[in-house]
Structure 1
Amino acid sequence: MPAPTRPSPPPLRVETRRVVLVGMVLWAVALVVVLLLGDRLDRVWTWTCVCGLVLAAGGLGIMRWQKQG
């Protein structure tokens, strides 16, 4: 494998907690919209929003746990 011609850029410093929280807010807004639309949409969209919130909450828990360890 040939050596890279230029060095890799430095990693970006991203506050992942803030990114996950913004994602949770977006999922929550989507859930409210889906609930307001009621029977006009399939229930799979409601559960998709709920799963997005649950997975994000789990991600926050894992991030908190890894910082302690």
Structure 2
Amino acid sequence: MSIQLALNEDGSMPGEPLAFLEGFLWFFVTPVSITLFIWVAVVALENVKKSKTNRAPSDVITRIGE
């Protein structure tokens, strides 16, 4: 039994390793970007909901038509 077979118990044969830049992009930049996008979207939705509840009721007398 060779070491190669012992390390790959499920029979998979791994390919070439990722370059540093490619690994950095896949495992750091991408997850951080997705997390920041979701965080900004949640904060923006909260602000939109808050601004809708804080609006004064529209009235013909107190509001000029646009």
TM over 0.5: no
State the TM-score, normalized to the length of structure 2.
Answer: 0.41
Which protein has the larger Cα radius of gyration, Structure 1 or Structure 2? 2
Higher relative contact order (CA 8 A, sep 6+): 1
